[in-house]
């Protein structure tokens, strides 16, 4: 077998899946200031509880329990980072952010997590893309809308954004088409896709997209410029904003 130099995981889903399947646990950060400063591009997965985030991450990475979000309402959850890259070389990172919107969580805790998320999404220097997972039967919730509003300026500056409509297998074709049209309008200039872990729908598109977003010219440029947030370049750990 000869090595094909033209092989491109940005176009070839098999190669993109092979890359995603290298995912391994990197670290967990109970608070923003515990997140390590990283040079490699980072993709954040966010969504309300029960949106299907853990299932999507586990399906994309083909690892049963990589993302095993605690289902205990109100428990302070952490940001989990997973490394991606062949031969043990990390060339990108997935960040699994805590699910939000449990009805049972006290308002104070909800507001605190909203601030943590907004802080992360607005200040993480190596963040290149955000995947917002939404159950299309429920549509965007108030917290999803708030999150979208918060990152809109960064999306306008080049942050990649994907509105991923989960559990698409539960929709009829007409419902799916309608949900996708609405999501495209809501995606703030980003992308929208249907996804079903159960039916393996949308996996190829998401896998190749994630590769392109972390290996395309924009990812390199964004990295070097640090999104204008850290003009000094790599140095001491940036001072995180207080969470409370
Ligand atoms: P999370 O809280 O966002 O991490 O959500 P989970 O991944 O735990 O999923 C919430 C529920 O939706 C679980 O009961 C899953 O089995 C279900 N679910 C997730 N993805 C799919 C899917 O693609 N199709 C269907 N039918 N159910 C799904």
| Whether residue 49 has its Cβ less than 6 Å from ligand 1 | yes
Higher-scoring residue by pLDDT: 91, 224: 91
pTM of the model: 0.86
Number of domains observed in the structure of the chain: 1
| Closest ligand 1 atom number to CA of residue 67 | 4
Q: How are beta strands 160-165 and 191-194 bridged, if at all?
A: parallel
Instruction: Specify if 39 maps to a domain.
Output: yes
Mean pLDDT along residues 146-161: 92
Per-residue model confidence (pLDDT) at position 169: 98
Q: Which residues pair with 54 in a beta bridge?
A: none
8 A C-beta contact, residue 7 and residue 16 = no
Pocket test residue of 48, 52, 105, 200 for ligand 1, highest count of atoms within 8 A of CB: 52
| CATH number for 148 | 3.40.50.300
Instruction: Specify if 240 maps to a domain.
Output: no
Q: Which residues pair with 201 in a beta bridge?
A: 196
Per-residue model confidence (pLDDT) at position 241: 42
Instruction: Specify if 123 maps to a domain.
Output: yes
Per-residue model confidence (pLDDT) at position 226: 37
| Closest ligand 1 atom number to CA of residue 166 | 23
Higher-scoring residue by pLDDT: 138, 237: 138
Q: How far apart are CA 168 and CA 197, in angstroms?
A: 9
Q: Output the CA 20–ligand 1 centroid distance in Å.
A: 20
Pocket test residue of 49, 65, 167, 169 for ligand 1, highest count of atoms within 8 A of CB: 167
Per-residue model confidence (pLDDT) at position 172: 97
Instruction: Specify if 3 maps to a domain.
Output: no
Q: How far apart are CA 208 and CA 162, in angstroms?
A: 13
Nearest CA to ligand 1 atom 27: 167
Q: How far apart are CA 94 and CA 25, in angstroms?
A: 9
Instruction: Specify if 34 maps to a domain.
Output: yes
Q: How far apart are CA 79 and CA 97, in angstroms?
A: 5
| Closest ligand 1 atom number to CA of residue 71 | 2
Q: What is the pLDDT of residues 69-122, one digit of tens each?
A: 555 554 557 889 999 999 989 999 999 998 888 777 778 877 777 788 888 999
Per-residue model confidence (pLDDT) at position 203: 98
Per-residue model confidence (pLDDT) at position 219: 53
Instruction: Specify if 107 maps to a domain.
Output: yes
Give the structural domain span for 86: 13-215
8 A C-beta contact, residue 127 and residue 42 = yes
Give the number of residues written for the chain: 244
Instruction: Specify if 220 maps to a domain.
Output: no
Kindly provide the b/e burial profile for residues 65-74, where b requires at least 16 CB atoms within 10 angstroms of the residue's own CB: ebbebeeeee
Nearest CA to ligand 1 atom 6: 52
Nearest CA to ligand 1 atom 25: 167
What's 41-52 look like in SS3?
CEEEEEEECCCC
| Closest ligand 1 atom number to CA of residue 195 | 23
Mean pLDDT along residues 41-50: 95
Nearest CA to ligand 1 atom 10: 50
Q: In what order do the strands lie in the sheet with 79-84?
A: 24-29, 79-84, 92-96, 42-47, 127-134, 160-165, 191-194
Instruction: Specify if 20 maps to a domain.
Output: yes
């Amino acid at each position: 077998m000869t090595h094909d130099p033209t092989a491109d995981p940005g176009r070839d889903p098999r190669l993109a899946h092979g890359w995603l399947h290298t995912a391994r646990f990197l670290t967990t950060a109970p608070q923003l200031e515990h997140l390590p400063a990283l040079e490699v591009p980072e993709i954040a997965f966010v969504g309300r509880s029960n949106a299907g985030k853990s299932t999507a991450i586990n399906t994309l990475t083909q690892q049963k329990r990589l993302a095993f979000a605690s289902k205990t309402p109100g428990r302070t959850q952490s940001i989990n980072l997973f490394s991606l890259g062949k031969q043990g070389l990390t060339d990108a990172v997935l960040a699994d952010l805590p699910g939000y919107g449990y009805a049972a969580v006290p308002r104070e805790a909800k507001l605190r997590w909203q601030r943590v998320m907004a802080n992360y999404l607005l200040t993480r220097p190596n963040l290149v893309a955000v995947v917002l997972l939404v159950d299309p039967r429920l549509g965007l919730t108030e917290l999803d809308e708030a999150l979208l509003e918060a990152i809109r300026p960064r999306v306008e500056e080049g942050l990649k954004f994907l509105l991923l409509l989960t559990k698409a297998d539960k929709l009829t074709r007409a419902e799916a088409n309608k949900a996708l049209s609405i999501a495209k309008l809501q995606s703030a200039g980003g992308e929208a896709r249907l996804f079903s872990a159960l039916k393996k729908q949308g996996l190829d598109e998401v896998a190749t997209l994630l590769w392109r977003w972390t290996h395309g010219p924009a990812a390199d440029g964004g990295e070097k410029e640090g999104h204008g947030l850290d003009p000094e370049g790599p140095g001491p750990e940036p001072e995180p904003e207080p969470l409370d």
